[in-house]
Structure 1
Amino acid sequence: MSTSVATLSGSADREPAPAVEPPAPHSPPVFAPLQGGQLVLGTIALSLATFMNVLDTSIANVSIPAIAGDMGVSPTQGTWVITSFAVANAISVPLTGWLTRRFGQVRLFTMSVLLFVLASWLCGLAPNIGTLIAFRVLQGLVAGPMIPLSQTLLLASYPRAKAGTAMAMWAMTVLVAPVAGPLLGGWITDNISWPWIFYINIPVGLFAAALTWSIYRSRDPGPRRVPLDVVGLFLLVIFVGAMQIMIDLGKELDWFESAEIIALAVTAVVSFLFFLAWELTDQHPIVDLRLFASRNFLSGTLALSIAYGLFFGNVVLLPLWLQQFMGYTATWAGLATAPVGLLAIVLSPWVGKNVSRIDPRMLATVAFLGFGGVLWMRSHFSTQADFETILIPTLIQGAAMAFFFIPLQAIVFSGLPPERMPSAAGLSNFVRITAGAVGTSLFTTLWANRAAMHHAQLSEAINDGSATAVGTIGEMMASGMTREQALATIDRLVNQQAFTLAVTDVFYLSAVLFIALVALVWVARPALGESAAGGGAH
């Protein structure tokens, strides 16, 4: 990762004639930008790997009911397929800087892509939910370095003057995946079988790895021996793992009525406190917590992470509701959620070009107000909502996405010296990805709890003293149903209403929180004139 910073800053003031410039003593070599066909192929290779990685996050969302049903678990337990990947990914991201110095960025990137392919193959072969979650953890661990290194290598391939354009192209790749993921995942689940959502990574990953290695292998500074903060890594794994397991199992074990949940909570808190103490005093910390002393890094990282947790939790929740309670197939759920990236693809190049000229706080405010408006529209959904009603907020959400990542990254990285960029990237990505996993678990739990409350309230109206209830049951029995069948039908209708009311509660809460986040963005100092690309590159 440190190599990437030198690459980015070193390519600014030099002509691209020499392939490699002489390094300063004890400094990694600085490579000139790629040209012609190599630049095109290198961009394709890096974009394919990024696309595959991001696709694997969104493609599983619409397949969760099928996976859960096939493996005999509840849809809530099925969401562990998503959260296990996210938690493992969050743990491995802070290691990217150390791994890059230890193995070299090109070797590490190629190895990550190949191991991701292997893990995808194992996920498709998984015979039960426990094995699938284990392989998803492996997939998340090896995926950690892929996205930051794809940004680093891409920026090193272009002249500094075109860094904003390069990052806009990269952002478009990331935004195409959420469009393709639900569509592809839904079609594969309905027409082939869910393991193929993982198998399709194999040819894409092999091609991307081969192409990357053929172009970039001569641009790798090679491995160096660097110290690893083993204690910090151990405490990080214990803290994040215990916290996520506690959140995932809390609803099933009745939260703090369970000794297991109490033990997990104590483990998470104690390991977190030891982690803080160790990282603030260690000479080579795996996570540089002193970065939070920077006002822009603190406010930007918090805003980005909380927003991402809200965003990702809703992204998971919507297809679950559509498939379980609105009668949508995986394919139709994919069609309803896929267009989220269309406007983002159109608007991202403009944002990338103008983020250094327009105050990033203004652009991020547009994103948060947009997300708030979209979720407010969704909070008015009912069981009568048609496909068009569900689709319109999804389309609008794409515009908000275009103003989301790039401006907030500009805020996060503004004012930091180049040597702190790799650590800042690792820490901000770790907090963001962890927030996404926690948001998914909290939202599915909140949804179930609100649904239980609404179900109890609606059921109170169905009793022998209610003329409407008695009349409805009588009509059903007159049409040929037994009393038990009539009651079961009414219970299904009540359940549909309860979960729909619950999901709109979650949408409304999310809308309010997004609006409140605008204030957090404006805590940051102005970052006008600083390149977002530099921050996003790591």
Structure 2
Amino acid sequence: MRFGFDKWIVVITVTTAALLQTIDSSIVNVTLNQMMGNLGASLGDISWVVTGYAAASAVMITMSGWLTAKLGRRNYFAASIVLFTIASIFCGTATNVWELVFFRVVQGIGGGGLLTTAQSILIQTFPKEDVGIANAIFGLGVIIGPSIGPTLGGYITDNLSWNWVFFINIPFGILATFLTYMYIKEPAEKMVAGKMDWLALFLLIAGIGGLQIILEKGQEKDWFDSSFIIGMSIAAGIGLIGFIWRQLTVKAPILDLRLLRRRRYAVGTLFNFILGFGLFASVFIVPVFCQTILGFTASQTGWLLMPGSLATAMMMPVVGGLLRKNVISPIWYAGIGFLLFFGFCYDLSAISLDAGPDYFFWPLVIRGIGMGLIFIPLTTVTLADLESIEIPQGSALSNTIRQLGGTFGTAIMTTYISTRSVLHVSRLSDNISMYNPLSAERIRQYTSLFLSKGDALVNATAKAYAMMKGTVMRQALVMTYADAFLVIGGFFLVCVPLLLLFIGKKVEAPQHVEMAME
């Protein structure tokens, strides 16, 4: 490589910090059951552990550009790492669920400043002939983090305890902080920070927080039959509309929405939402399905995602090299990636109760290759038209949208699974009757089983119907998850033609975004 030891350290530093943020966005997914048992929390309570982190992280990502200008890039980056690490300690030592939720929010505040700032550091540190390999390595952290999070979380949960899911961050946080102050420099071109717009910040928190709560709690609260959800909807609407109006009318916005006037950047930001939606939603529903339906352990479930992560890791440098040769437009690579992601979802839509670990191998590898084809080309075309001074704000908005896409995708899929499973249970239950020969025969078999164990006829019949109900429920959930995979896949398939919106002048990324490989 053209860049030497100091720049390799910069790559390692920012990638480590990015991994901390992206892994923690998904690592708790396979530990929630143990947290519920140890902290005496309900599923509704423990879900705030995920919601609080995601909402706080999204808010802080939007502020990253302003805070970078105000505090300095290195100081803000280091402060985010320190806050994230300290919050991890308190999360691991929490004694009740609401203490854990509070420190997860604090952890999200620190984590939100890591991802966008890390990408800005790379883009503004390296010359164009080296920035490609640096972005490829950084991309591994962004894409692989949500995939290896459940793997790591499952292993820790089965072999240690849920507390160590947070304690594992401590040594990496200390190392990243030290390397930041030793090797990361301030850019030559200084940004000017205006006065903090506290009204905009309040509107942003109300908008994103309210919308996140609606998506997470709407099903539980019966949606708009609940005065709580109605109130959150009003708060979210006023907050989001007010924030957009405020950012378009003030001279120094904390998030420069005017960048969306550039068509290519606006389209790229939309596709970052799609990317976050598909990545996080699929990473969420695969572990849930494997544990709740197939009975896999946390470790088994986590390891299922590893093949796809390795496929992504191998594709990153390959795609960087292809883009360096500039044979075809990055748009085509992204299109192939979206189609592969659809193939992954379509394959898993045929899932059944007989599926074992081997069933997931090729679909997840296909998804991994697809993600590798999407990330770098999408970054290239999204940021290509921005000036260097606009990169922090542009990255902040783009990464915020990707983060929100992930949290919304997870919440929407959770709600979809809840409502769809009720529909499938109702349809299957209509066929459970003594007048249906198949169901009648199954009930007779179950009844005979319990009679052979000494139960009275009345008890044996009641247990037979209960077992039949359980069978129906499991089959309904399998059908529901199959539908969920199709929904995600269809979303990606429909979006492929929308890549044509990128068509315009030839994508020739300037120095700060060109994806080159040596």
TM-score between the two structures when normalised by the length of structure 1: 0.88
1:478 partnered with 2:451: yes
Shift of 1:328: 0.6
Amino acid at match of 1:444: T
Query: Does the 8 Å CA contact 1:103/1:224 hold for their aligned counterparts?
Result: no
The alignment partner of 1:243 has SS state of helix
Shift of 1:156: 4.2
1:450 partnered with 2:428: no
Instruction: Identify which of 115, 133, 145 aligns with 1:165.
Output: 133
Amino acid at match of 1:419: I
Query: After the TM superposition, which of the residue ranges 177-186 and 75-84 deviates more from structure 2?
Result: 75-84
Q: What is the alpha-carbon distance in structure 2 between the residues aligned to residue 266 and residue 138 of structure 1?
A: 26
Shift of 1:299: 1.6
Query: Does the 8 Å CA contact 1:179/1:342 hold for their aligned counterparts?
Result: no
**Counterpart for residue 52 of structure 1:** 20
Query: Does the 8 Å CA contact 2:312/2:371 hold for their aligned counterparts?
Result: yes
**Counterpart for residue 196 of structure 1:** 164
Q: What is the alpha-carbon distance in structure 2 between the residues aligned to residue 176 and residue 441 of structure 1?
A: 21
Shift of 1:444: 0.5
Q: 1:280 to 1:231 in 2, by over 3 A?
A: same
Query: After the TM superposition, which of the residue ranges 187-196 and 336-345 deviates more from structure 2?
Result: 336-345
Shift of 1:536: 8.9
**Counterpart for residue 480 of structure 2:** 502
Q: What is the alpha-carbon distance in structure 2 between the residues aligned to residue 384 and residue 417 of structure 1?
A: 54
**Counterpart for residue 491 of structure 2:** 513
- Structure 2 unaligned runs (5+)? none
Amino acid at match of 2:502: A
Q: 1:435 to 1:234 in 2, by over 3 A?
A: same
1:122 partnered with 2:85: no
Instruction: Identify which of 376, 383, 405 aligns with 1:413.
Output: 383
The alignment partner of 1:276 has SS state of helix
Instruction: Identify which of 308, 315, 327 aligns with 1:340.
Output: 308
Query: Does the 8 Å CA contact 2:146/2:283 hold for their aligned counterparts?
Result: no
Query: After the TM superposition, which of the residue ranges 169-178 and 128-137 deviates more from structure 2?
Result: 169-178
Q: What is the alpha-carbon distance in structure 2 between the residues aligned to residue 325 and residue 81 of structure 1?
A: 23
**Counterpart for residue 300 of structure 1:** 268
Query: Does the 8 Å CA contact 2:277/2:409 hold for their aligned counterparts?
Result: yes
Instruction: Identify which of 369, 373, 380 aligns with 1:399.
Output: 369
Query: Does the 8 Å CA contact 1:355/1:531 hold for their aligned counterparts?
Result: no
Query: Does the 8 Å CA contact 2:123/2:513 hold for their aligned counterparts?
Result: no
Q: What is the alpha-carbon distance in structure 2 between the residues aligned to residue 69 and residue 333 of structure 1?
A: 20
Instruction: Identify which of 343, 346, 357 aligns with 1:373.
Output: 343
Amino acid at match of 1:409: T
Query: Does the 8 Å CA contact 1:34/1:158 hold for their aligned counterparts?
Result: no
Q: What is the alpha-carbon distance in structure 1 between the residues aligned to residue 337 and residue 31 of structure 2?
A: 28
| Residues 334-359 of structure 1: CA deviation (Å, up to 9, x unaligned) | 11122221111111112123336131
Q: 1:382 to 1:77 in 2, by over 3 A?
A: farther
Instruction: Identify which of 181, 185, 188 aligns with 2:149.
Output: 181
The alignment partner of 1:523 has SS state of helix
Query: After the TM superposition, which of the residue ranges 173-182 and 385-394 deviates more from structure 2?
Result: 173-182
**Counterpart for residue 6 of structure 1:** none
**Counterpart for residue 237 of structure 1:** 205
Shift of 1:72: 4.3
Shift of 1:231: 1.4
Query: Does the 8 Å CA contact 1:122/1:135 hold for their aligned counterparts?
Result: yes
Q: What is the alpha-carbon distance in structure 1 between the residues aligned to residue 500 and residue 34 of structure 2?
A: 43
Shift of 1:462: 2.5
Query: After the TM superposition, which of the residue ranges 416-425 and 192-201 deviates more from structure 2?
Result: 416-425
Q: What is the alpha-carbon distance in structure 2 between the residues aligned to residue 499 and residue 527 of structure 1?
A: 48
| Residues 28-86 of structure 1: CA deviation (Å, up to 9, x unaligned) | xxxxx996433333332222222222221232222233333444445565444333222
Amino acid at match of 1:452: V
Q: 1:367 to 1:520 in 2, by over 3 A?
A: same
Instruction: Identify which of 399, 404, 422 aligns with 1:434.
Output: 404
Query: Does the 8 Å CA contact 2:133/2:317 hold for their aligned counterparts?
Result: yes
Query: Does the 8 Å CA contact 1:96/1:426 hold for their aligned counterparts?
Result: yes
Query: Does the 8 Å CA contact 1:178/1:341 hold for their aligned counterparts?
Result: no
Shift of 1:529: 4.2
Query: Does the 8 Å CA contact 2:334/2:373 hold for their aligned counterparts?
Result: yes
Amino acid at match of 1:104: G
The alignment partner of 1:323 has SS state of helix
**Counterpart for residue 182 of structure 2:** 214
| Residues 426-461 of structure 1: CA deviation (Å, up to 9, x unaligned) | 112222211211111110010011111111222222
The alignment partner of 1:534 has SS state of coil
Q: What is the alpha-carbon distance in structure 2 between the residues aligned to residue 454 and residue 500 of structure 1?
A: 10
**Counterpart for residue 14 of structure 1:** none
Query: Does the 8 Å CA contact 1:181/1:338 hold for their aligned counterparts?
Result: no
1:487 partnered with 2:487: no
| Residues 399-449 of structure 1: CA deviation (Å, up to 9, x unaligned) | 001012211122222323333322222112222211211111110010011
Amino acid at match of 2:344: V
Shift of 1:145: 1.8
Query: Does the 8 Å CA contact 1:279/1:286 hold for their aligned counterparts?
Result: yes
Q: What is the alpha-carbon distance in structure 1 between the residues aligned to residue 193 and residue 511 of structure 2?
A: 29
The alignment partner of 1:160 has SS state of coil
Query: Does the 8 Å CA contact 1:38/1:215 hold for their aligned counterparts?
Result: yes
Instruction: Identify which of 488, 492, 500 aligns with 1:522.
Output: 500
The 5 Å alignment of 1:192-341 reads 192-216=160-184, 226-341=194-309
Q: 1:225 to 1:474 in 2, by over 3 A?
A: closer
Q: Percent identity?
A: 31
| Residues 443-500 of structure 1: CA deviation (Å, up to 9, x unaligned) | 0010011111111222222334442243133223223254343333332222211111
Query: Does the 8 Å CA contact 2:64/2:393 hold for their aligned counterparts?
Result: no
Query: Does the 8 Å CA contact 1:410/1:527 hold for their aligned counterparts?
Result: no
**Counterpart for residue 65 of structure 2:** 97
Query: Does the 8 Å CA contact 1:61/1:316 hold for their aligned counterparts?
Result: yes
Q: 1:519 to 1:99 in 2, by over 3 A?
A: same
The alignment partner of 2:184 has SS state of helix
Q: 1:370 to 1:478 in 2, by over 3 A?
A: same
| Residues 111-149 of structure 1: CA deviation (Å, up to 9, x unaligned) | 111110011111112223332222211111111221222
**Counterpart for residue 17 of structure 1:** none
The alignment partner of 1:531 has SS state of coil
TM-score between the two structures when normalised by the length of structure 2: 0.91
Q: 1:57 to 1:503 in 2, by over 3 A?
A: same
Q: What is the alpha-carbon distance in structure 2 between the residues aligned to residue 251 and residue 410 of structure 1?
A: 38
Query: Does the 8 Å CA contact 2:289/2:481 hold for their aligned counterparts?
Result: yes
RMSD (Å) for aligned C-alpha atoms? 2.5
Q: What is the alpha-carbon distance in structure 1 between the residues aligned to residue 429 and residue 40 of structure 2?
A: 28
Q: What is the alpha-carbon distance in structure 2 between the residues aligned to residue 107 and residue 225 of structure 1?
A: 14
1:534 partnered with 2:512: yes
